[in-house]
Amino acid sequence: MAQDTMKQGSLAELLVSRALQSCATAGNVLVMSVTVGASILTDIPRRRFPWREFVRQAWFMVSVSVIPTILVAVPFGVIISVQVSSVAQQVGASSFMGAANGLGVIQQGAPIVTALLLAGAVGSAITSDLGARKIREEIDALETMGLSPIRRLVAPRMVAIVLVAIVLCGIVVFTGVVTGYFFNVLAQGGTPGSYVSSFAAFAQPSDLILAEFKSVLFGAIVGVVAAQKGLTAQGGPGGVAHAVNAAVVLAVVILFGVNVIITQISNVLFPSRIV
């Protein structure tokens, strides 16, 4: 009985500790978001923004994410085409394949693929870089010299990841739609005219704008979470590895939650219509 009571007490303490840590992490991420945003908005007009670091980070992010994005977008477009075709043939709506595939890729596929690639490839790189600088005491050295790590290191990475998110979303949209078209025409016996006409009837510029808006928001979330975890890493190389894992997991969870909220709001405010 005493052991059961002790286990229940330790479990309750663990749950309370986890809840407090979650609240602290959320507060730190929010504070960093405001700080980074303020730094970007004030440094660019004053010509104090580190453009050289921004270009270097943007090129690095593109180099590690473009090829994986294309490789993920191709099978993603095929999967959507296969699933939609199976349902469309059962209900006799094969003529709407183009609309279903295209809207599926643009509205959901492109932002999700972009978010996962940003969190897995780019976010982990940001966390590991900043975490390594933290345990080598480079961050402390910058602060000792009166230099802000947020302005010198985090702000250029934030601008770079947002711009890269826009590019990756466009790549996923193009690759997914083209892949779905060729797979439907060549492998599923669809007609090119029916595919294109149904896609043109339902797709709207607002769909692409919404996808890009999601990607920008997802990029900002990944950048803030990755930077926060990197700057708070401690405990040597093991601590950096733990920070990278925590950053990826936390970013993915937040991204999926934000995607659900944005999708629900957009469906209510901007329902799909035939044009």
How many Cβ atoms sit within 10 Å of the Cβ of residue 16?
A: 10
| Amino acid letter, 233 | A
Cα angle value 257/120/229 (rounded, 5°): 75
pLDDT over 70 at 51, yes or no: yes
pLDDT over 70 at 5, yes or no: no
| pTM recorded for the entire structure | 0.85
**CA nearest neighbour of 30 among 263, 204, 265, 254:** 254
Whole-number pLDDT of residue 216? 92
Whole-number pLDDT of residue 275? 47
- Record the tokens describing residue 237, joined without a space: 């190389």
- Record the tokens describing residue 232, joined without a space: 């708070």
pLDDT winner (highest mean) among 15-24, 75-84, 138-147 = 138-147
Whole-number pLDDT of residue 89? 64
Q: At what angle do helices 237-269 and 205-231 cross, to 10 degrees?
A: 160
**CA nearest neighbour of 74 among 171, 213, 167:** 171
Convert the pLDDT of each residue in 145-190 to its tens digit.
878 888 888 889 999 999 999 999 999 988 888 888 887 777 777 7
